[in-house]
């Protein structure tokens, strides 16, 4: 299986990004005029390539409504004060299969979990559990599209690009506030 490099489909779109500190480590946020395009833990597996994106400071990000809103809502979520993100999302990359998987992830309720096989069923590819896992690993909007809610078939905490310790922390946060 080959891995595709994900690039913006509209190179003329300006993407701004910033790094914020959170209780789980530094997190990158990226947005275009169309909406949020990235949320990732700095140093995680499959982090986006930010070449060509404009890095902005916190004060500059306050002038970008999507970055400012994403920062505020992520802070609320990690403090246990928010269960649902209300952000414009823009996913101008990813294969059609990845897009279906990322859409299916958005149907998992706060505080709930499912397994990779269930996601494979939901996207109409019941035998594609490994491909589902690969698509989930490349989720560009960590926490906002809650891939941490997907477990192994036996309930094991497997496969989180941000690290298993962070996955465990996010699940514990949601269990405590569900």
Which residues, 6+ apart, have CB-to-CB distance to 65 below 8 Å? none
Number of domains in the chain: 2
Do residues 14 and 54 make contact, with C-beta atoms less than 8 angstroms apart?
yes
Residue with tokens 């414009």: 88
Domain presence at residue 7? no
Are 163 and 112 in a shared domain? Answer: yes
Give the CATH number of the domain where residue 30 resides. Answer: 3.30.160
How far is Cα 5 from Cα 47, in angstroms, rounded to an integer? Answer: 11
Domain presence at residue 146? yes
Q: Tell me, yes or no, if 77 is annotated catalytic.
A: no
42-57 pLDDT tens trace: 999 888 888 889 988 8
Domain presence at residue 2? no
Are 61 and 23 in a shared domain? Answer: yes
130-158 pLDDT tens trace: 999 999 999 999 999 999 999 998 888 98
Write the CA distances from 112 to 7, 174, 175, integer angstroms. 32, 8, 8
The residue from 147, 161, 170, 173 that is catalytic is 147
Do residues 41 and 146 make contact, with C-beta atoms less than 8 angstroms apart?
no
Domain presence at residue 6? no
- Note the maximum CA span of the chain: 47
How far is Cα 78 from Cα 143, in angstroms, rounded to an integer? Answer: 9
Give the CATH number of the domain where residue 122 resides. Answer: 1.10.10.10
Domain presence at residue 148? yes
Are 102 and 156 in a shared domain? Answer: yes
Nearest to 106 by CA among 130, 137, 63, 136: 136
Q: What is the pLDDT of residue 173?
A: 97
Domain presence at residue 109? yes
Are 40 and 103 in a shared domain? Answer: no
Are 72 and 132 in a shared domain? Answer: no
77-101 pLDDT tens trace: 999 999 999 999 998 789 999 999 9
Q: Residue 171's domain spans which residues?
A: 96-177
Burial class (CB in 10 A: 0-12, 13-18, 19+), 148: buried
Domain presence at residue 67? yes
Are 71 and 100 in a shared domain? Answer: no
């Amino acid at each position: 299986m080959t891995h595709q490099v994900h690039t913006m489909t509209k190179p003329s779109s300006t993407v701004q990004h910033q790094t914020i500190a959170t209780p789980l480590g530094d997190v990158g946020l990226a947005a275009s005029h169309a909406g949020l395009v990235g949320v990732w833990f700095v140093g995680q597996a499959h982090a986006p390539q930010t070449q060509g994106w404009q890095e902005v400071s916190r004060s500059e990000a306050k002038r970008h409504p999507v970055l400012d809103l994403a920062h505020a809502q992520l802070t609320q979520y990690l403090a246990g004060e928010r269960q649902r993100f209300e952000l414009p999302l823009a996913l101008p990359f990813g294969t059609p299969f990845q897009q279906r998987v990322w859409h299916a992830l958005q149907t998992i309720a706060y505080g709930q979990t499912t397994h990779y096989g269930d996601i494979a069923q939901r996207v109409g590819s019941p035998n594609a559990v490994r491909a589902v896992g690969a698509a989930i690993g490349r989720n560009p909007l960590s926490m906002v599209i809650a891939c941490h809610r997907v477990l192994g078939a036996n309930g094991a905490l497997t496969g989180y690009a941000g690290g298993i310790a962070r996955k465990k922390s996010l699940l514990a946060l949601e269990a405590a506030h569900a």
